[in-house]
Structure 1
Amino acid sequence: MKNPFATFTSLLLVACFGVIAATEVSRCYNQEVPLPDVVAVENCDKSPCTFYINYESRMSISFRAPRYLEHIAPRAQAVVMGLNLSYPLGQDDACDGVTNTPCPLAKGEYIEYSYGMLVLDIFPEVGLNLEFSLLDNDQGGQAFVCFNVDLQLVKKN
């Protein structure tokens, strides 16, 4: 059964932003790390999502904290033409993106996290796979939530 609070949160995002709705994503390569309850990528309901070069694309995730979390960080890994690349996010503390409660996060607490990802103009128009995760720095950088999404980077006309 789907989490009714997650469904409500997704509908609230649509009502507030209009262009953000739940996005179909897949599990990360490490199958033990759970998917968020809801992933919402701006203007995208299923892969591949279009990200515009030199523009910021917004995404948000909602999930339940699996344990007490105090020091968390976002991580983005891109697979482009067979190469694994870390993408610099410019956000070391994921608490900066938590929108519904202050950190630290209590076990079982429902969390909403939002991030605006700027696609630097050094990137060519290319398709890639993005793995986005949140890490628990108090557990050696262990991912506690993760998703994969295919992206198409394009120049905006």
Structure 2
Amino acid sequence: MKSTIAVAALLSILTVVRGTTVSQCGDIPLPDDVQIENCDQPPCVFYINTTSSMTMTFKTPRKLEHIAPSAVAHVMSIDVSYPLDQDDACDGIVNTECPLDDNQVVEYTYSMFILPIFPEITLTLEFALVDKDQDNEPFECFQVELALKSQP
């Protein structure tokens, strides 16, 4: 019994250690884990004119059928919607298929191209998954500080 508790504690510590540190978006649930490529601690560096990827793991709050990703950049008190090239978040789910059952563990991956028109800047990115059947209500969301930089 003690060994089971010790293993469970170790696994929970490893889960926290392997993910990227992110913040919650208001009262919207935070994913169980977020892993941003080459980033453990913000600010995460995204290079302009390249692709950066992230994976988030979460439990569904209810049955979900039509979901979409959403990204908003918060820059100097201005909110700018970032155009994403994925209308159906089901395309990014790697461990199961849509529709999703209530309380199902889901792993979602998204790769984002950082447009060459962006200047070098630091911003806060808010990334959410929304339920298209519930007026695009976000059901998972995280915020992370990014530093957009030119390639070295």
TM-score calculated relative to the size of structure 1? 0.86
Which residue is 1:37 aligned to? 32
Deviation string, structure 1 residues 60-119 (Cα, Å, up to 9, x no partner) = 000001100000000000011221100011100000000000100000110000000110
Match of 2:45 among 33, 42, 50: 50
Larger radius of gyration between Structure 1 and Structure 2: 2
Which residue is 1:83 aligned to? 78
Please list every run of 5 or more consecutive structure 2 residues that lacks an aligned counterpart in the other structure: 1-7
- 2:58 paired with 1:25: no
Which residue is 1:134 aligned to? 129
Letter in 2 for 1:114: T
Distance 1:146 1:103 in 2: 19
Distance 1:36 1:82 in 2: 25
Distance 1:84 1:37 in 2: 25
Letter in 2 for 1:24: T
Deviation string, structure 1 residues 9-38 (Cα, Å, up to 9, x no partner) = x86xx9xxxxxx41000011xx22110000
SS at match of 1:96: helix
Which runs of at least 4 in structure 1 moved beyond 6 Å after TM superposition? none
Aligned length: 141
Distance 1:23 1:43 in 2: 9
- 2:91 paired with 1:96: yes
